[in-house]
Amino acid sequence: MMLEAFSLPLGEGLTLRGNWHADETKGPKQPILLFCHGFKGFKDWGSFPYAADALARRGIVTVRFNFSCNGVGESLDQFDELEKFGRNTYARELADLTALWDAIRTGELPLPDFADKQKLFVLGHSKGGADAILFGAGHPDVKGIVTWNGVGDVNLFDEKLRAQIEREGVGYVLNARTGQQMPITRVVIEDVDNNREAYDLEKKVASMKQRLCIIQGRNDAARLVKAAERLKQADEDAELHWIEGADHTFNTRHPFAQTTPQLEEAIRLTAGFVHRV
């Protein structure tokens, strides 16, 4: 197993940090999978390193990374850059994905020789599912998109939070795990509101050429269960796989203790889709 860390400077004081996982014993021309974390997530959360390893052992070069404004800095596992979190937009995350793929495509970020740049896939967990769809649907290099318990609407912000931001310029969401009050600024709301058409996930999947695989836990939040159903209705050719008994993180926690049957099923389904498309 090969595991390499990398750091891509993006300018404006931003850095994209990540790791790639690969298994050279699995043969040549392995597909590449970009692994997007979700809201209040990060590349080293809980099961993500394990899942990336497991996908690599199934012959998929897997790249997990932190979005540059996800709030996690050089610590890699602490929200120590909350000012950046407060201005993190979909536009910023899509720019990060573009920069990451450009660095891979041009060789600025070298992957193993057996990584096939003609076989690019994007996986997103939770909010990262929206990033995977928005980036993948607009990018001709992407062959397929996978969502793990993904959102169906880019607007994650209720009216109470919006009102606070309107009054004060910033609102706060609680990170239940860390106890931190995490800021959301007006620029985040404006990005969602000003791009309603461009960020319409159902319209994206209905019109895109890329194949879509939706992997959804039955015991996840009701709104996400319904989101999976709506995305499937919008894209009749999409694969929708239900994982019985699975919650939002496939019954895993942070810090990671052990895998679960639900996570193993998500990994198996993901690998099967990537190798089939």
DSSP for 70-91? SS--TTSSS---HHHHTT--HH
Residue 29, pLDDT score? 98
- State the burial class of residue 149 (Cβ atoms within 10 Å of its Cβ: 0-12, 13-18, 19+): buried
Report the 3 state secondary structure along 176-243: CCCCCEEEEEHHHHHHHHHCCCCCCHHHHHHHCCCEEEEEEECCCCHHHHHHHHHHHHHCCCCEEEEE
Residue ranges of the chain whose pLDDT lies below 70: none
- Integer Cα distance of 217 and 147 in angstroms: 11
Residue 199 sits at φ, ψ, to 5 deg, of: -100, 15
Letter for the amino acid at 259? T
Pick 2-153+197-276's CATH classification: 3.40.50.1820, 3.40.50.10140, 3.40.50.300, 3.40.640.10: 3.40.50.1820
CA proximity to 151, closest of 77, 73, 93: 93
The pTM assigned to this predicted structure is 0.98
Beta bridge partners of 120: 32, 142
- Integer Cα distance of 217 and 266 in angstroms: 9
Contact 16, 36 (CB under 8 A): no
- Integer Cα distance of 201 and 179 in angstroms: 31
Residue 47, pLDDT score? 98
Residue 249 sits at φ, ψ, to 5 deg, of: -115, 30
Radius of gyration (C-alpha) of the chain in whole angstroms:
18
The domain locations on the chain are 2-153+197-276
Helix or strand run (H / E) with residue 168: helix 159-168
- Tokens of residue 16, six digits: 């994209």
Residue 135, pLDDT score? 98
